[in-house]
Structure 1
Amino acid sequence: MSKAKKSEFRPDDFVVYPAHGVGKIVSIEEQEVAGMSLEMFVISFEKDKMTLRVPTARAAEIGMRSLASPDLVEQALTTLKGKARVKRAMWSRRAQEYEQKINSGDLLAIAEVVRDLHRNDDQREQSYSERQLYEAALDRLTREVAAVGGIDAEGAQKKVDEVLVARAA
């Protein structure tokens, strides 16, 4: 099987997979599927203790991407400082939009969800589903901040928290 185009992704690269967030390419392997030989990225999502196999030919189509640039991370953190924009739509519709943003893999869209759902201690309670979406978005954001900045999860969490707390002040 000839390798017509070499992929931009290599083993040990961190990548963002839209539905799961930041993962690391462990290897690229050939796999027999329905009698055809397919080249697959083997991606490990350490935090979720999950391994995913993605056909290399479909990676771009699925929306798999490289980590955000440091500039984009800064833009995302700046997004967090903005005023929450909450539409007057019914919660079910807004929840669906937040879910789509989180699963888009777009760092700025994810930051918008964190911004819009963030609550200070003195603000009204969050519903269970609001909290779930907030935590999912926050987790995606901090994992990418950590990977891009070469820092651990706690360091990234602290960095994001500082921005959110400063906004509230």
Structure 2
Amino acid sequence: MPSKTAKPAAAATVSKAASAKPAVKPAAKAPVSAPVAPAAAAPKAAAKPEVKPVAAKPAPAPKAEEPKKAVTQRQGFKANEFVVYPAHGVGQILAIEEQEIAGAKLELFVINFIKDKMTLRVPTAKVANVGMRKLSDPALVKKALETLKGRARVKRTMWSRRAQEYEAKINSGDIVAIAEVVRDLYRSESQPEQSYSERQLYEAALDRLSREIAVVQQVTETEAVKEVEGQLAKSPRRGAKADADAESDTDTDGDLDGDSDDTVTDEAA
């Protein structure tokens, strides 16, 4: 009896072991399908860099400054041109620029006076009011030089009044009027010396005249001064009697005015 019951138990054990083997096969196949999913997701990350062209558009921003073009001409005057500014004489326009003053935009002539080491800015709309003009033409320069050969015309008035009239002529910017001042205040070696105030006005007028002649004729100022003095040397000279009268004729400020009764009196002025 005991031996018969043991055989079925062994057979049952064998059958269980045989049935457990098929379960091992599905477990081995599962790892094969797992790596497939990550490989399919890889192409999606490579498509993102195509959005970059959007950030390149702000580059054309500097074009906003392009409308500020350099102006080269206004009111008939050009950059680099020589002009005459009545209060300072001959100068050169360096540029025409725009500035904002008190909230308003103004166009200005930038004028350089080399000899005076000065730069002046004049509104382009005010050139007519200040009397700024172009250089005299050769014919007018010739007329001014001819004026120097004439007889001096000195009015019989106090020196202070005549000095004001001379200053007004010098600052008028009229080349012929300036030549008249040079002619009237010129003194040769045989004539009495000029007073200090006379000498100042004479040199101011001579400087304005010679500088414009130099630019028009394209010569140096030294050569222009020699030409002016050469024309003055051709003017009629005062006599000895006139020199004696001039020495005794004293102004209220104590300066000798250098007048002579050989000069022509301009009563009309």
Query: When the two structures are superposed, what TM-score results if normalisation uses the length of structure 2?
Result: 0.60
User: Alignment RMSD, CA only?
Assistant: 1.6
Aligned to 1:89: 157
Report the Cα offset of residue 165 of structure 1.
Answer: 1.6
One-letter identity of the residue aligned with 1:151: V
Percent identity between the aligned chains?
64
Aligned to 1:55: 123
- Match of 1:24, SS state, is strand
Query: Is 1:9 the equivalent of 2:81?
Result: no
| Runs of at least 5 residues in structure 2 that lack an aligned partner in the other structure | 1-66, 238-269
Which of these residues, 211, 226, 251, is aligned with residue 143 of structure 1? 211
Query: Is 1:31 the equivalent of 2:111?
Result: no
The answer to whether the 8 A contact 1:30-1:38 is kept is yes
The answer to whether the 8 A contact 1:14-1:66 is kept is yes
Aligned to 2:234: 166
Deviation string 1:59-95 (CA, Å, 9 cap, x unpaired) is 1111000000100000000000000000001000000
Q: How many residues align?
A: 167
Q: Which is strand-richer, 1 or 2?
A: 1
- Match of 1:15, SS state, is strand
Deviation string 1:10-31 (CA, Å, 9 cap, x unpaired) is 1111000000000000000001
One-letter identity of the residue aligned with 1:154: T
Deviation string 1:125-148 (CA, Å, 9 cap, x unpaired) is 211000000000000000000011
Report the Cα offset of residue 168 of structure 1.
Answer: 5.2
The answer to whether the 8 A contact 2:151-2:236 is kept is no
One-letter identity of the residue aligned with 2:78: R
- Match of 1:48, SS state, is coil
Higher relative contact order (Cα pairs below 8 Å, separated by 6+ residues): 1
